[in-house]
Structure 1
Amino acid sequence: MSRTPGAAEPAGVVGVILSVDPDRFADVVEAARRSGLTVTGEQPLIGSLAGTIAADRIPELAGLDGVEAVDRERTYQLPPPDSPLQ
């Protein structure tokens, strides 16, 4: 499934960023995919993995061997440059 950047995720699906053991990166990626993660970005040298998953599957993802942390992606919308809030 491809999506346009900035498009809303399907209901119940959230973006996550995982910190994983860089020495076991490939194995962790495969296990995360089996747990339901749709991988959207990989940075194996620093042990970072991004993707989307159903919110109720995050605990399972966090419990995978080799996963050090799971954080939900956060997005921020700045006001336009001509906004009085600038």
Structure 2
Amino acid sequence: MSESPRSAPVGVVLAVDPDRFAEVVAALRRAGLTVTGEQPILGTLSGTVPEDRIPALEAVDGVDSLDRERTIRLPPPDSPIQ
């Protein structure tokens, strides 16, 4: 019997209720989030989570928004296209 493979982790940035920050972060951890940064005064945090767990994070009471992290690459300063 084989186990189904877990989806690859993705970076996420969340905005949560700053008045309930610790409570919401604890619920997000239980839902599968690995926290990599917290900004409690702003009500934001970042972390990684398997792609298939994103809906569970969005369903946590106190989560205002969830965005996937994006990587933007700029050409070197001496490249012909700017």
TM score, norm. by length of structure 1: 0.84
- How many positions carry a matched residue from both structures? 76
Partners of 1:85 and 1:51 in 2: CA distance: 34
Partners of 1:23 and 1:83 in 2: CA distance: 47
Q: Where does the alignment leave 5 or more consecutive residues of structure 1 unmatched?
A: 1-10
- SS of the residue corresponding to residue 42 of structure 1 reads strand
TM-aligned CA deviation for residue 12 of structure 1: 1.5
Aligned residue number for residue 61 of structure 2: 65
Deviations 1:6-38 (A, max 9, x none): xxxxx6111000010000000111111111111
Aligned residue number for residue 41 of structure 1: 37
Partners of 1:72 and 1:38 in 2: CA distance: 14
Aligned residue number for residue 76 of structure 1: 72
Larger radius of gyration: 2
RMSD of Structure 2 on Structure 1 (CA): 1.0
Partners of 2:38 and 2:15 in 1: CA distance: 11
TM score, norm. by length of structure 2: 0.88
Aligned residue number for residue 16 of structure 1: 12
TM-aligned CA deviation for residue 75 of structure 1: 1.1
TM-aligned CA deviation for residue 44 of structure 1: 0.5
Deviations 1:26-65 (A, max 9, x none): 0111111111111011010110010000011000000001
Q: Which runs of 4+ in 1 moved over 3 A?
A: none
- SS of the residue corresponding to residue 25 of structure 2 reads helix
Aligned residue number for residue 8 of structure 1: none
